Structure 1
Amino acid sequence: MEKFALLARLEAKPGKETEVLNFLKNALPIAAAEPDTDRWYALQLGPSAFGIFDTFETEEGRNAHLTGEIAKALMAKASELFSTAPVIEHVELIAVK
């Protein structure tokens, strides 16, 4: 059962919304290839607000994701795509269905 999660909040720069949307869509196969990432969701929260929510069974899996290819690409493109630095929160899951 998943016990650990990450919630990343992303605010696109004006005019970069489509690029952020495409970046997130293109990240899906990378997330799917990560053996310790149980679930991975890309979210659009508003016109320029996006997010990523992913879950893990172990702390090690969560840490591996934080140093993985999506995280590297996200940070490499942060100044180009986002109006503020991505906010990444460690989440502990208390109930999962």
Structure 2
Amino acid sequence: MNELAAVIPFRARTGNGEDVARLIAGALPHVESEAGTTTWLVLRSEADPDLIFLIDLFTDHESRNAHMSGEAAKLIFGSVPPLLAEPPSIHPATIVTRKPAPGKGRM
């Protein structure tokens, strides 16, 4: 089975990128308890510091659905929107290929 993902770009209001990234990163303790969330990345663009990307990888649909309605999502979507220039757009995705972690085989 292919691993599933979600990519969510957050466009912060001018000058609020650092605060948005910090608030999103604050959800990490909730994500760490999710067995089906295999990778969770918060990226701040170097080209546009007010653009933050949240990238999640999941083992299956159930894990992705649980994550999207879980405590991390509640924290992020309950605290970040006032700092955004526009609503975030969630992009569910399927991983086509990726470089495997050391000791793991290719998908």
TM exceeding 0.5: yes
Higher helix share: 1
Please give the residue correspondences for 1:1-97 in structure 2 after superposition, counting only pairs within 5 Å.
Answer: 3-45=3-45, 46-96=48-98, 97=100
Asked if the contact 1:2–1:56 (Cα under 8 Å) also holds between the matched residues in 2, the reply is no
Instruction: For CA contacts below 8 A with separation 6 or more, give which structure has more relative contact order.
Output: 1
- Cα deviation for residue 25 of structure 1 reads 2.4
Post-superposition Cα deviations, 1:41-66, rounded to whole Å, max 9, x if no partner, equal 00112210001101011110000011
Provide the C-alpha distance between the structure 2 equivalents of 1:33 and 1:55, rounded to a whole number of angstroms. Answer: 14
Report sequence identity in percent. 28
The AA in structure 1 aligned to 2:53 is: G
How much does 1:74 deviate? 2.2
TM-score normalised by L of structure 2: 0.81
Q: Could you tell me which amino acid in structure 1 is paired with residue 25 of structure 2?
A: K
Larger Rg: 2
SS at match of 2:28: helix
Paired residue type of 1:64? A
- 1:78 touches 1:85 (CA, 8 Å); kept in 2? no
Unaligned runs of 5+ in 2: 101-107
Cα distance change, pair 28–2 in 1 and its aligned pair in 2 (3 A): farther
Structure 1: stretches of 5+ with no match in the other structure: none
- TM-score, length-scaled by structure 1: 0.88
